[in-house]
Structure 1
Amino acid sequence: MSEIHRNEDNLGAIIVEVQDDLLQLKSSLEKIIVNDRGTTLDIQALDNAICRTEKSIRKHAEDYLKTVNKQLYVLPSIEDFPKQSAKIPQWKPLEAIPHVHPQKKNLLGASPGEKQKFNRNLMCNPANPSNRQIVPQKCGISLPDVVKKNINTTKHQRKIVVSGCHFPSIPEDDMRTVLQPSLLSLAVQHKAASLHPKEDTFKTGSNSRCDDQQKWETNSESPCVRKVDECTPLWATKTPLPSTTSMSMGQSEILKGTSSLIPKTPQVPPVEVPVNTTKFPFTIIKGQIDPMAIDFSHFKQNFSMCWSSVVDMLEVLKELLGNFAVPVGKVSGERLVELCRGWENGWRKTPSVNTLLSVLENQEEVFNLVSSPGQRYKGEGGIEAAAIRIQSCWRRYLARTAYLCHLRRKWAVDIITISWKMRAQIHRTRKALQARRNSQLENSRSRAQHLAANWKRIQSSKRTIIHIPSLGYSQSQRLNLRRFDILQNIQISRLFDIRDKNVEVIYICPQHLGDDILDYYNSLLKCDGATDGADTIQTLSSRRRFIILTPEAVDYFPTHNMCLSTLLKYSPRTLKRIRNLICGKQAYIVGGVSHMDDLAVADELDVPILAPDPAVFQLNSTKSEGRRIFDGAKVDTPPGQGDVCSLQQLHETLADLMTQNITVQRWLFKINSEHGGRGKAYCDACHLRSYNWALQQYHHYGPDLWNAKQIQEPVLLRYLDEIPEWLAHYAQPAKTSCYPSWACFLKTFLRQGGVVEAKPPSESVTYLTVDMLLEPGGEVTMLSCGDQLHGSCQLEAIGTTVPQTSVHPETLHSVCMRVGQTCLQRLIVGYVSVDLATFLDHNTVEQKVWAVDLNIAYSDQLAMTQMLLMVTGGTLNWHTGFLEVPMPVREKVCEHQIASKVVNCYAVIGSHLFHSNLFMLYHNTFLKTCKIHGIGFNMKKRQGTVFALFDMRERCSIGMITVSDDLQGALVTFARNLSVIYQEISSSKMQGETNFKELVKNIEDVLQMTVQNKRLLKDKPAA
């Protein structure tokens, strides 16, 4: 409103000036008429007047439009036009507008004498062509022709009032050149939309928004005319207008403030409204608009009030269509105006292509054309755009190439830098680790020297033994072993070292043991065979002299198959507890298979290790080095050769050995670093095609002449030709679970190296194992010996019979002493086991003893022997070769003494008994079941059966010891126990995986051999 007051005087003055200019123009036109008679024609005056008029109207009309666009205007009521006496209506404020009754018929169709009303659609919808015919436009507003006929043409001045704004009096003819019909129709439409349906008043506030939701209903009489329902007044209908889609806040406030001033009428009749389908289309051809075209002129004429914004949008649209050489673009005028209004209200940037194309009626066709490749270069400035694009692409290619080259160089620099840093870090880490290991090794050697110097004193005094049954094999071997923690826990019988009263045992267990296993071993430790069971004080002291610890790292690395020393190394809490337990005591470590982490644990606990250095162990623990030790000890060994590392060497060595030892039936192949029966294979010589011919040649020349090279050469050459095929077809690994075929075994054999040697040439071969302690002081002590029992694999021992009965004790002692002294010369200390083979030579009819294997570790047989000696209270006498067990006799020699006699006993030890169905029984249930069948140990007679429990989780492996007066009774008891257990846990439908059957079969063979030996002994004195 303030803008209207400011521009009020200026508008009046401008209109007055326009009137004066028009008067002058009129007078100039009169001069033109006079000049026709011969006077001078003043054309310049006419031109000046017209220019001043155009400039003034153009400048001030824009200011006026900016002001009045925010106001509401209401048309005055129109009286009956035929009456010449009616006064010309004036523009009045909203309060003075009377009620207007809309008519069904068009104003132009009325008869001169008929009373007519002004049609509301004339001003409400300027888009209607019929309205444009009635209301022609120039550069301002003019009233309809019907009204112009009744307007008095005198110089009569009238006063205009618009929304409370007063304008100076203007002649009626000049007023028509100022106002536009679109503004008047906008005001009429907003006023009509605010009237109450029944009371014919304007609505206020919140009800005005709900009226836009009313819908048109189609008239059944005429398809071209729509009627409003009787209950829906005209002002509640929705009239589609291109320029009045929304109402500004200022207009709504004016309507809200003036709605109460409108007079109310009781009823409004329904009105027929014609359907508006015109969209003011025009065409843009090749980016150009014909300003003289009818459709464009029509569009421009109807939207001249907002033409300034339409022109800008048209320029953008023309540029787009011209740049893309669009032949024809059909523009919808209404959409264009709506787009311009939205652009002015909220947009600050040029609309997108999709937005611009949305105003086209053929937008799909144009969009497909615009989006086609290369279309841009067909339009205006296409050649320049193509050149720019080519140059930009080339420059981008050059820049991209240079950037990628820079990235590659930068990447290479980063890789080199990171690699160098990592290499330097690894080098520093290795150097630090090497320094630490050297320090640990030096400390270990220093402690070993102290242990050797004080060994006699330590053995005779109280001491603590830290047993770590670690299997320090290589990583590949450990990962290929099943139930690795159970294999390490098989030596749990080391606990029975406490049978020495001066020994305390700290046993490191590789798994968590249940209460049933702990209670079982506690009950066994109570039964110390060397004392009476009533000595409870000594029993309690025995229970206090051992402790079982499990490293906490067992829970952190359950599937890594780490050796026990490594797990203990990464268990700081367990190490701390061990330090507290051995504080102030003499202690040393007894390990298993040596590993570098043994040094780390010993250095952390600051105790010595009763074992050789890891480097010494690795050097002397191979099969090839074992043969060298036996050769150095002057002990008989099987014919063979070590350090075979290539296929050609294997063939040549095997051919030479087979030629020299023609009577050997089976040849063995042993991998250097393997243990037990895993790394062994065999092949029988009888499968060679030329073997029978070679035997004939041997018998032809005889044993004495056969050693000549000239005689052996033909056989050697034929063997060389046949051995590759012979090995490929007939060589077999001893354990197919580890190496399924000869090809797999041969690959590992050639990679790690191995030994080729002969199996003893006899059908009756006995293998025995002797355990020795190589004391740091330089003495060799035999701890255990036993004849081996085999299962399905004839090259792997499952159990032993103690004591051994195959070799004379003196011969055995002599062999073991020589091997022990040779090991001491090679700086090997600790526990060592030697595998021997004895058989009867058919040529000389003499017993031969071959040393076949050397293991530098604490053996499973030794651990089970400690358990045997604990429960029986006996000792092994190596001079006589008997297991001497004291038997208490209840006869009083004196008041506090009980006489006892020593009995020679025999025992059968099974340390690797396996049955997959054992997991069905818990240990308590298993022991009760055995007790029901009479399987148990009699403490009075010191005979019976004792079990060793290893596993808490799977419960598939057990150990068993049977003790009897003679070897035959111990074997029978052992076989019977296996049969009973097998029947209890097996059925016809659930046999399971086991080694019970093969072991029972082997025991039967040993029993037959024992019977034969007894018969020979009986027959020999008689002869």
Structure 2
Amino acid sequence: MFNAPRNEEEIGEVFVKVQDDLKQLKRSLDKIPVNERGKILDIQTLDIAIQKTESSIRKHAEDYLKRVTKRLLVLPSIEDEHKTAQIPKWKPPVKSIPDVSPPRTLLPMASPGEKMSAAIHLLYKPVNSKNRSTKNQKFGLSLPDVHKKRTKGANHHTGSVESFQANEPRGHHSQAKPEDDAGMGLIGIKSRCHKKLECKSEPISSCSTTSREGTPPLITKTPPPSTNSKSMDQGGMMQDQNYVAKSHQNLPATPPLIVIKYPFTIINGRVDPMAVDFHYFKQSCSLSWSSVVVSLEALEKLLRDFAVPLAKVIGERLVELGLNLDIGWRKVPPITLLSALENWEEVLDLVLRPGQRYKGEGGTEAAAIRIQSCWRRHVAQTAYLWHCRRKWAVGTIAISWWMHMQMRRVRKALQARRFRQLENYRSRAQHLATNWKHIQSSKRTIIHIPSLGYSQRQRLNLRGFDILQNTQISRLCDIRDENVEVIYVCPRHLEEDTLHYYTSLLKGDGATDKLDTETTEASSGIRRFIILTPEALDYFPTHNMCLSTLLKYSPHTLKRIRHLIQGKEAYIVGRVAHVDDLAVADELGVPVLGPEPAIAHLYSTKSGGRRIFTEAEVDVPPGRGDIHSLNQLHETLAELMVQNMDVQRWVFKMNSELRSHGTAYCDKCYLSCYNWALQEYHHYGPQLWNTQWIQESVLLRYLDEIPEWLARYARPVKTSCYPNWACFLKTFLRQGGVVEAYIPSDSITCLKVDLLLEPGGEVTMLSCGDQLHASCQLEAVGSTVPQTSVHPETLNSICMRVGQACLQRHIVGYVSVDLVTFLSHNTMEQKVWAIDLDLAYSDQLAMTQMLLMITGGTLNFHTGCLEVPIRMTEKCSEQQIAAKPPVLNRYAVIGIHLFHSNLSMLYHYVFLKICKAHGLGFDTKRKQGTVFALYDSNDRCSIGMITVSEDLQRALVTFARNLSVIHQEISSSKMQGETNFKALSKNIDDVLQMTAQNKLLALEDKAA
């Protein structure tokens, strides 16, 4: 522990000497001659006095410091930290100093508008804001007051010596910390410079006079150090340690300086040491020169680096920088150095000028360094980017290869699984073919999956895809065979009213006791059919997945089916074949009554159907299939038109055409060379026309005009799918298609025949009917059963040949054949053309099963009649039974795709009550009336309808009347809705007229 110095009177002796020197300065100032009218004072005398005072003060301070440095300083004890040091006051007598300052003038190098008084400026600059609290501490001393307020017209200062205190400049004297400017560049610093350069000392009136131009005011003075001085640097600069009572901390502080603004200039980055202004500046800060010289050297280097020709330095600001910025000039941004300049704006503009750095000192080396660094950076960056690209490429290749291998493994696994499923399908199909007779005669379970296994593009383009799959809900009627149990997989959730309707419908024939659903349990009796809905339907409501795919991803439904068919003979009846049919069959372990998906997709196209018809030696329209290029289309069409001059319209069908969506046509009459070609045909005659050299000229003419003819006059049948020929042609060439001749007759009848190609090798006809059309002649919405347009033997012959051709290609299951019949104009004989082949369970067959269910009849394809047995009452005598046949013929009209948007406003039970009120029902005793098929419980826009009557004409009239009644009940004059009822009614009227004409012709023939 060090002992504090006891002789505190030495401080007073030093200040006594300072007081004496000030008295001498006062006497010297009294002797200065003053001109009251504002003439310049004798500055030489003032200069001598100031120099003498400065030397005396320096000498006394050095003597005191020598004595102080030899003593040991003692830190105050903690217990005395809050006590005030008792320092004896020393009050020497001081005479008042008269004010002899002349009027204010402008000092050289001062900024415009800045007026300075010729006085001694006392500046006190603490290092930081914490040391500013020491400005009001007296340390037991009273200094002479040299900062008295000067009143207007007064010639001297007033006030007592005891009240003398050194006033600290405020406001503009606050010094910014070096770290405030750290990190700032030269750009965007003008606004900051304005704020920093405003920090100038306010002029304080003193007893000194203003100096002349080139003559400095009084030099810097430092008060004597107190007893708490800690150390002094080698250059003689003192640092005071002030005690801050409030914060209880001992913080180093810069000694208060009394500095006057000493401007000097730096020319070309060099200070002239012989210049008078710099000489006076150096003298004014001699005590702190070691700190100031560092800032001055840094400023000079900055000016030399940027080749600044002239810089005006504010000495006061430079001293502040030297005292306050102790962290090293290398970390100080240039803005801090430029803030010490009076013409900082000009210097800043010059420093910010591009390329200015390379004009100054070491500019060539700096430019070389910059170029080399930029080039090295460019080379390094290029190498780094190239490395990053290669690294990214390596990662991408690795990930791609990993994904490729993963996909390859998955693909191989899927291929192996599908191959295994196909092998299992073939083995089960062989078992089904071997035991088919036994299975048909014994109890069996049929799993009906009405799945439309179209491509994804086709499924997404079909509106109401799930409703289209459920149009075959009448497959439930297979239970009319007592040995059959039906499991129907439904693509929609059915409401209670729909389930109750089918329960009542099936109970009417006594074929079942109840309807069992997935959520209900059997109460009594055996379960003859079950309706199940896959749970995956709730997870994929908008994906338009086929029913087989939904069932494949429904493990609970598969488990339920597996449990229901356990220990029973069962097989699957699908619709349009899909690969997921094999997956479902493999999961359930049952065979599929249908062809392989690949074979089904090959021969269910338009081109595949034509190949089967050709091999079955069935008449087909003139045409050609498997067209996949534009040149092939033009050449084929030209050849067909030359060979068939009587055909007026040509039809273009896509291979995957669905319900006439992929069909277009073009009339031959719009061809410009048609009349000329017709003249050539009549000129040579039909016999010579088949010669190739005769047809060559017409063929070349057709080839030239066909492209333009198709582009202008070809029209798609459904413009909703393909608005123009260009869109249709693009899809047609991608999928491939068929060019066929349209039937060359105005009286055309289309009929559909459903066949069962049994695995045992037999062909069985299941249904046949003449088709009914709505707005589009190529799209059927219903049919009349049985068909009456073709002789039964002719129809049976055609169907047998087609069936055998399909069996030769391993096609089994349900097949439907579309035929057209017309009278030839040349021979007046009936012709039958086969136009389409569908390897699927048809909607007509499903509705025919319902027809046979409600009537209890059978279709006799040898006679072409629907035979319905009539139950005889007990009261009838034996003669009446013998007189009346037990079987009657009935005719039915089946409406499969009836659509009306206003049906959605009625619930099914309300709709059925309205129909019952109008007498639209079925008489189970007479086996005639109307029956409806309900497809959907939510939208309710599509329905099916069957009318049964004694003859075809009455059945057609009943059907048309039912459509009219339903339309009137659900429509108003302002809300007709979207429907096909009207178009279908018009078609029925045409059929009725044709039927009447046929009857008239038949009567005439009999009469003849």
> Into which bin does the TM-score normalised by the smaller protein fall?
0.7 to 0.9
> Which residue of structure 2 lines up, in the alignment, with residue 906 of structure 1?
891
Determine helix, strand or coil for the equivalent of 2:642.
helix
> Which residue of structure 2 lines up, in the alignment, with residue 951 of structure 1?
936
Residue 1000 of structure 1 deviates from its aligned partner by 1.1
> Which residue of structure 1 lines up, in the alignment, with residue 110 of structure 2?
none
Determine helix, strand or coil for the equivalent of 2:631.
helix
**Pairing partner for 1:439 from 420, 431, 442:** 420
1:117 and 2:161 correspond: yes
Determine helix, strand or coil for the equivalent of 1:501.
coil
For 1:763 and 1:781, the matched residues in 2 are separated by 32
Contact 1:876 1:884 in 2 (8 A): yes
**Aligned counterparts, 1:718-737, within 5 A:** 718-737=701-720
- Choose 450-459 or 548-557, whichever is displaced more: 548-557
Residue 474 of structure 1 deviates from its aligned partner by 1.9
Contact 1:127 1:302 in 2 (8 A): no
Contact 1:82 1:113 in 2 (8 A): no
1:402 and 2:383 correspond: yes
> Which residue of structure 1 lines up, in the alignment, with residue 442 of structure 2?
461
Residue deviations 1:723-756 (CA, integer Å, cap 9, x gap): 3333333322222222222222222222322222
**Pairing partner for 2:404 from 399, 423, 432:** 423
> Which residue of structure 1 lines up, in the alignment, with residue 636 of structure 2?
653
Residue deviations 1:698-730 (CA, integer Å, cap 9, x gap): 556554554444554554444444433333333
Contact 2:148 2:206 in 1 (8 A): no
Residue 502 of structure 1 deviates from its aligned partner by 2.1
Determine helix, strand or coil for the equivalent of 1:890.
coil
Determine helix, strand or coil for the equivalent of 2:871.
strand
**Pairing partner for 2:302 from 309, 320, 323:** 320
Residue deviations 1:465-502 (CA, integer Å, cap 9, x gap): 22221111222222322222222222222222222222
User: Do the aligned partners of residues 507 and 280 (structure 1) sit closer, same or farther apart at CA in structure 2, a change above 3 Å counting?
Assistant: farther
**Pairing partner for 1:571 from 554, 557, 567:** 554
Contact 1:889 1:900 in 2 (8 A): no
Q: Quick one: which amino acid aligns to residue 835 of structure 1?
A: D
**Pairing partner for 1:933 from 911, 918, 921:** 918
Residue 297 of structure 1 deviates from its aligned partner by 6.8
Residue 984 of structure 1 deviates from its aligned partner by 3.3
Q: Quick one: which amino acid aligns to residue 425 of structure 1?
A: Q
**Pairing partner for 1:611 from 576, 579, 594:** 594
> Which residue of structure 1 lines up, in the alignment, with residue 4 of structure 2?
5
For 2:487 and 2:435, the matched residues in 1 are separated by 21
> Which residue of structure 1 lines up, in the alignment, with residue 874 of structure 2?
891
Q: Quick one: which amino acid aligns to residue 737 of structure 1?
A: S
> Which residue of structure 1 lines up, in the alignment, with residue 474 of structure 2?
493
Contact 1:667 1:757 in 2 (8 A): yes
For 2:530 and 2:329, the matched residues in 1 are separated by 86
- Choose 795-804 or 303-312, whichever is displaced more: 303-312
**Aligned counterparts, 1:160-559, within 5 A:** 249-250=249-250, 284-289=266-271, 308-329=290-311, 343-344=325-326, 350-360=331-341, 362-528=343-509, 544-559=527-542
Residue 763 of structure 1 deviates from its aligned partner by 1.6
> Which residue of structure 1 lines up, in the alignment, with residue 101 of structure 2?
none
Residue 511 of structure 1 deviates from its aligned partner by 2.9
Residue 802 of structure 1 deviates from its aligned partner by 0.9
User: Do the aligned partners of residues 847 and 103 (structure 1) sit closer, same or farther apart at CA in structure 2, a change above 3 Å counting?
Assistant: closer
**Pairing partner for 2:827 from 827, 844, 847:** 844
Residue deviations 1:638-671 (CA, integer Å, cap 9, x gap): 2222223333333333333333332223222222
For 2:268 and 2:85, the matched residues in 1 are separated by 41
Q: Quick one: which amino acid aligns to residue 958 of structure 1?
A: I
Residue 782 of structure 1 deviates from its aligned partner by 1.0
User: Do the aligned partners of residues 331 and 726 (structure 1) sit closer, same or farther apart at CA in structure 2, a change above 3 Å counting?
Assistant: same
- Choose 63-72 or 773-782, whichever is displaced more: 63-72
C-alpha RMSD of matched pairs (Å): 4.7
For 1:997 and 1:635, the matched residues in 2 are separated by 36
Contact 2:221 2:259 in 1 (8 A): no
User: Do the aligned partners of residues 774 and 133 (structure 1) sit closer, same or farther apart at CA in structure 2, a change above 3 Å counting?
Assistant: same
User: Do the aligned partners of residues 111 and 871 (structure 1) sit closer, same or farther apart at CA in structure 2, a change above 3 Å counting?
Assistant: closer
Q: Quick one: which amino acid aligns to residue 521 of structure 1?
A: Y
Determine helix, strand or coil for the equivalent of 1:511.
coil
Contact 2:637 2:739 in 1 (8 A): yes
1:976 and 2:978 correspond: no
Contact 2:142 2:165 in 1 (8 A): no
**Aligned counterparts, 1:693-842, within 5 A:** 693-695=676-678, 698=681, 703-709=686-692, 711-842=694-825
> Which residue of structure 2 lines up, in the alignment, with residue 1009 of structure 1?
994
**Aligned counterparts, 1:25-64, within 5 A:** none
**Pairing partner for 1:859 from 832, 842, 846:** 842
> Which residue of structure 2 lines up, in the alignment, with residue 81 of structure 1?
94
Residue deviations 1:756-797 (CA, integer Å, cap 9, x gap): 222332221111000011111111111111101111211111
Determine helix, strand or coil for the equivalent of 1:393.
helix
**Pairing partner for 1:600 from 568, 583, 594:** 583
Contact 1:884 1:903 in 2 (8 A): yes
User: Do the aligned partners of residues 336 and 661 (structure 1) sit closer, same or farther apart at CA in structure 2, a change above 3 Å counting?
Assistant: same
Residue deviations 1:403-449 (CA, integer Å, cap 9, x gap): 33333433443444333333333333322222221111111111111
Contact 1:505 1:545 in 2 (8 A): yes
Determine helix, strand or coil for the equivalent of 1:891.
coil
Structure 2 gaps, min length 5: 18-57, 97-136, 170-200, 210-216, 231-235, 515-521
> Which residue of structure 1 lines up, in the alignment, with residue 1006 of structure 2?
1021
Q: Quick one: which amino acid aligns to residue 399 of structure 1?
A: A
> Which residue of structure 2 lines up, in the alignment, with residue 960 of structure 1?
945
Contact 2:147 2:204 in 1 (8 A): no
Residue 829 of structure 1 deviates from its aligned partner by 0.3
> Which residue of structure 2 lines up, in the alignment, with residue 37 of structure 1?
none
**Aligned counterparts, 1:655-674, within 5 A:** 655-674=638-657
Normalising by structure 1, report the TM-score.
0.74
Normalising by structure 2, report the TM-score.
0.75
Structure 1 gaps, min length 5: 19-50, 84-92, 143-159, 167-177, 191-203, 206-246, 254-275, 534-538
For 1:782 and 1:113, the matched residues in 2 are separated by 138
Contact 1:281 1:299 in 2 (8 A): yes
Residue deviations 1:7-49 (CA, integer Å, cap 9, x gap): 989x99x99xx9xxxxxxxxxxxxxxxxxxxxxxxxxxxxxxx
Residue 317 of structure 1 deviates from its aligned partner by 3.9
Residue deviations 1:955-997 (CA, integer Å, cap 9, x gap): 3222222222211111112112222233333344433332222
Contact 2:627 2:736 in 1 (8 A): yes
For 1:497 and 1:353, the matched residues in 2 are separated by 99
For 2:154 and 2:85, the matched residues in 1 are separated by 30
User: Do the aligned partners of residues 102 and 376 (structure 1) sit closer, same or farther apart at CA in structure 2, a change above 3 Å counting?
Assistant: closer
Determine helix, strand or coil for the equivalent of 2:955.
helix
Q: Quick one: which amino acid aligns to residue 81 of structure 1?
A: V
Q: Which has the higher helix share?
A: 1
For 1:112 and 1:962, the matched residues in 2 are separated by 134
For 2:600 and 2:759, the matched residues in 1 are separated by 15
Aligned residues: 863
Residue 870 of structure 1 deviates from its aligned partner by 2.0
Residue deviations 1:118-172 (CA, integer Å, cap 9, x gap): 4524565698665585997788657xxxxxxxxxxxxxxxxx9958x99xxxxxx
> Which residue of structure 1 lines up, in the alignment, with residue 606 of structure 2?
623
Determine helix, strand or coil for the equivalent of 1:745.
helix
Contact 2:754 2:817 in 1 (8 A): yes
Determine helix, strand or coil for the equivalent of 1:5.
coil
Identity of aligned residues (%): 64
Q: Quick one: which amino acid aligns to residue 755 of structure 1?
A: V
